[in-house]
Amino acid sequence: MSELQLRIADMSAEARDVVRLELVDVNGQDLPAFDPGAHVALKLPNGAVRQYSLLNDWRDRGRYVLGVGRVRGGRGGSESVHTELRPGMVLRCAVPVNHFALRPDATRYLFIAGGIGITPILSMIRWCSAMEKPWQLVYAARSRSRLAFYEDLVPYGERVHLHCDDEAGKALPVAQLMADAPRDADVYCCGPAPLMEAVRDSASPVPVASRHFEWFSAPASDSLSSTDGFWIDLRRSGQSLQVPPELSILEVLEKHGHEVPFSCREGVCGTCETGVCEGEVDHRDYVYSEAQREGLRSMLICVSRALSPRLVLDL
């Protein structure tokens, strides 16, 4: 994966516990293009690699703009951003990838964002506005002080519906929202896992295939373990390894000294994607859509497992 050297050109507080970062090429060159919904992986000062959605206009080649929410008691990535990054610092960054791409020919778009989940949605609504597509955004936060990028949303007027839990006295009524959604809408949702699970599971005229999600972490309700073990054959090294029920493929490879790139270890970032030469995969990630999984010859080895007794991996 090619790597970029990016300088922090600007850094500012955006909302409570949310910081806005503007990154530019160290030599002032144009940055690789990205599509709405794309993210970049940043190497942080504490050694962690974390994925952050790009929220600026996709036509803006001079900078990448990110928003990072502080997760207290998290795995340390957001804490490093909030406490260790300073304007002028140079960070290593992978080129943008997109696991949350906008379907450009949808009839209409309904965006549902919660908290810092507004970041990929911002680049999407910029695209919809430029293309004169019909769209609506419902954006929920616990309080007004936590509504990030509010100033960016104001110009869109009535297309944007804001919901603050404390003012409404209740959480966003997702079931009602989805029940009322137009059948021909494509729904794009990003936010806390309970919000996305509710959008995914609610009865709605919108078909499940038209509901799209960007998971920042795996849903708490999902188990990532498997009841059965299986074998993996490594095509390039000729090694065969057993994957017991309590370990992931990634963990088995690490135990045997293989260095495989990873970041989230929860099936949400796509970093550990590995080619599959033979065998049937039990996809358990939150990156590939059902449509993408059809005939797919790759898998995310931090969470996905095997439906066949053996998988041959391109390793």
Which chain residues interact with ligand FES by CB under 6 A? 262-265, 267-272, 285, 300, 302
Q: Minimum distance between the CB of residue 300 and ligand FES, rounded to whole angstroms?
A: 4
- By beta-carbon proximity to ligand FES, the closer residue of 38 and 269 is 269
Q: Minimum distance between the CB of residue 264 and ligand FES, rounded to whole angstroms?
A: 4
In Å, the largest CA–CA distance within the chain is: 61
Residue appearing with tokens 């358990």: 284
Please list the residues that pair with 282 across neighbouring strands.
Answer: 305
Distance from C-alpha of 89 to C-alpha of 294, rounded to nearest angstrom: 43
φ/ψ (deg, to 5) at 64: -115, 130
- By beta-carbon proximity to ligand FES, the closer residue of 137 and 218 is 218
Q: 15 and 147 in contact (C-beta within 8 Å)? A: yes
- By beta-carbon proximity to ligand FES, the closer residue of 121 and 264 is 264
Q: Minimum distance between the CB of residue 75 and ligand FES, rounded to whole angstroms?
A: 12
Name the residue among 243, 219, 265, 226 with its Cα closest to residue 313: 243
Q: Minimum distance between the CB of residue 251 and ligand FES, rounded to whole angstroms?
A: 11
Q: 67 and 20 in contact (C-beta within 8 Å)? A: yes
Q: Minimum distance between the CB of residue 8 and ligand FES, rounded to whole angstroms?
A: 24
Name the residue among 175, 172, 100 with its Cα closest to residue 137: 172
Residues in the chain, total = 315
The sign of the dihedral angle between the CA atoms of 285, 223, 198, 137 is negative
- By beta-carbon proximity to ligand FES, the closer residue of 125 and 269 is 269
Helices (DSSP H) in 171-239: which residue ranges? 174-180, 193-201
- By beta-carbon proximity to ligand FES, the closer residue of 151 and 290 is 290
- By beta-carbon proximity to ligand FES, the closer residue of 21 and 301 is 301
φ/ψ (deg, to 5) at 266: -130, 5
Q: Minimum distance between the CB of residue 50 and ligand FES, rounded to whole angstroms?
A: 10
Q: CA torsion angle for 256, 259, 260, 263 (degrees, to 10)? A: 110
- By beta-carbon proximity to ligand FES, the closer residue of 49 and 198 is 49
Q: Minimum distance between the CB of residue 246 and ligand FES, rounded to whole angstroms?
A: 18
